[in-house]
Homo-oligomer: A and B are copies of this chain.
Amino acid sequence: MTLSDTDIEKTTESRVQTPRLDRQLCFALYSASGLMTKLYRPLLAPLGLTYPQYLTMLALWERAPRTVGELGDTLGLDPATLTPLLKRMEAGGLISRRRDPADERRVLVQPTAEGEALRAAAGGIQEALGCQLPLEPVELAKLRDTLNGLVGQLRALETEATAVEQGNER
């Protein structure tokens, strides 16, 4: 372990420090996430689902109906992202969308019978992927928990930042 074993590379020509791509946590996350999505794609296509749509169904299978905003909080997505996504899923017959009679601002989302029927197939996908993934289940769980911890901290940072924006820093 040398002193120069950092994520910064010192170039001789300018003494400018350039961050190295393969030392960036953000790039590791970016790559891993993209590859995982690619791995799911061929398994989800037969079900008529994209990867974000699959995550949405997972959320709805756990609890429904939910409003667009609640779904966005769970998935970490903007309402502006979800609206067209949910419309496509509605057009595909997997979910229903209706205004909440008790509060006409909200839109309630829930799986249709057809959407509910996909539940069984989802279990098969997890099984198929577990076989492909070249990772011990224990290691996998550890990595997942570490990431979820990071996600929690990043979300805390996020809400803190918006609070400061609104002058609520006390």
Query: Chain A interface (Cβ within 8 Å of chain B)?
Result: 7-9, 14, 16-40, 51, 55, 58-59, 61-62, 74, 76, 119-120, 122-123, 125-126, 132, 134-135, 140, 143-144, 146-148, 150-151, 153-158
Q: DSSP majority for the A interface?
A: helix
Q: What residue in chain B is nearest A140 (Cβ atoms)?
A: B25
Are A35 and B146 neighbours in the complex by a CB distance under 8 Å? no
A145 CB to closest chain B CB, in angstroms? 8
Using A8-B126, A134-B157 as known contacts, say yes or no to A76 and B35 having CB atoms under 8 A apart.
yes
Are A154 and B29 neighbours in the complex by a CB distance under 8 Å? no
A22-B148, A28-B148 known; 12 new pairs, CB 8 Å cut-off, are A8-B123, A16-B123, A18-B61, A19-B122, A21-B58, A25-B143, A25-B144, A28-B151, A33-B33, A35-B151, A35-B154, A134-B153
